[in-house]
A = this chain, B = another copy of it.
Amino acid sequence: MDNHPALDDAFLALADSTRRSVLTRLARGPASVSELAAPSSMALPSFMKHIRLLERSGWIRTHKSGRTRTCVFEPSKLPVVDDWLAQQRALWEARTDRLERFIDLETE
């Protein structure tokens, strides 16, 4: 369950505020690279690395037309990471439930 290379990249992509900002912006709709880069005060080549990482990890898709590259959010990644976290929460809650039953037994 945990040994899932795609999850490595999916989570790594979220481990940077520049990239999280890009995703937040893209969730509202497609944008060009320079639109996305505008708020970031970072050299373009540096910024492009983040775009490539987001693309590699599957969080976005991009296509070039003319001289501008347009980026679009890829929603199918959301359930993948969501599921892992849901499972984690489920395990945790199952455990606290068992603990509570145990305490109930002890104290009755």
Interchain CB contact under 8 A, B27 and A3: no
Copies of this protein in the complex: 2
Residues of B close to A16: CB separation below 8 A? 8
Most chain B CB inside 10 Å of its own CB: which residue of A11, A78, A88: A88
- A interface majority secondary structure: helix
Q: Which of the residues B4, B9, B20, B88 comes within 8 Å of A23, measured between beta carbons?
A: B88
Some 27 contacts from A to B, beta carbons below 8 A apart, are: A1-B24, A2-B24, A3-B21, A4-B17, A7-B14, A7-B15, A7-B17, A7-B20, A8-B16, A8-B17, A10-B15, A11-B11, A11-B12, A11-B15, A20-B84, A24-B87, A24-B88, A27-B88, A27-B92, A28-B94, A29-B95, A73-B92, A75-B92, A78-B85, A78-B88, A78-B89, A81-B85
Q: Which A residues are within 8 Å of any B CB, using their own CB?
A: 1-5, 7-12, 14-17, 20-21, 23-24, 27-29, 73, 75, 78, 81-82, 84-85, 87-89, 91-92, 94-95
Q: Which 4 pairs show the lowest CB-CB distances between chains A and B?
A: A27-B91, A2-B20, A12-B15, A11-B15
